[in-house]
Amino acid sequence: MTSTNEIDVPGGRLHYEVRGDGPLLLAMGSPMAADAFAPLADALASRFTVVTHDPRGIAQSPLDDPGQDSTPDLRADDVIAILDTLGAETADVFGSSGGAMTTLALAARHPGRIRTIVAHEPPTLNLLPDSAERHAEVDEIVRTFETDGLEAAWRMFLGTSGYEGDEAGPPPGDSPERDKEDGRRFFVHELRETTRYSPDLDALRDGPFRVVVGLGADSGGLLTRRTCSALAGELGVPVVEFPGDHGGFIWDPEGFAKLLGDIVMTADTPLPLARV
């Protein structure tokens, strides 16, 4: 059974969903909303109480000021608001892509509230030696959205991320209007802020939590292979191989949930290490 809920946060309102029973595990993306994580949450619900949410400004989480930018720090504070509402002192957290950046900010800003963070393919561009070039690509993607529209921006985004082929963007949702609005928000108010975020490496090294950096088995050609390697190198941890690619939790939720659950439940679980 899934319960749906809403809470007020500074500057807006958050939609979140709760499934299952057991230790608390939060799964999050950015800009991906809660529905993208529903199959994964269902697969985890026999072992965990799983909480997913729509990030601020996305889907069913409206903002008072739609022009407000979305930063990892703001999104991390939103996660703490959910924990407070649930009466939970601590939780394990899984985040993918921009959601992984949220988990890094969450651990640094609220270290006592986190047990394990699993950061799956975080776009930590600031850790790359060619970060200036990568940021210039992001700026060009945003300009492309403004001049040529959503599909052209998605094509450029996917191309610079390392995808091949004629992909036009993420899988469509149930509402084309929502897809259009969420896409606009991503390119105008989120992409720059997320990829320019610099994780607090000292806080991540020294915090009272465990950090796991995850990379998809099929993500070897993606830019996130480099960002995962850079982050793991800075933290002195290995890169763990997860099923699939950047969206592996969508395409193989059962396999993804098995590994994620084992990592969270058992600190000494043998980890499949990625080749980076």
This prediction has a pTM of 0.95
For 87-136, what is each residue's pLDDT tens digit? 999 999 999 999 999 999 999 999 999 999 999 999 999 999 999 999 99
Domain spans of the chain, in order of start:
2-125+197-265
Residue pair 152/197 in contact (Cβ under 8 Å)? The answer is no
CATH class of the domain comprising 2-125+197-265: alpha beta
- Render each residue's pLDDT in the chain as its tens digit; 276 residues: 899 999 999 999 999 999 999 999 999 999 999 999 999 999 999 999 999 999 999 999 999 999 999 999 999 999 999 999 999 999 999 999 999 999 999 999 999 999 999 999 999 999 999 999 999 999 999 999 999 999 999 999 999 999 986 554 555 666 889 999 999 999 999 999 999 999 999 999 999 999 999 999 999 999 999 999 999 999 999 999 999 999 999 999 999 999 999 999 987 777 798 887
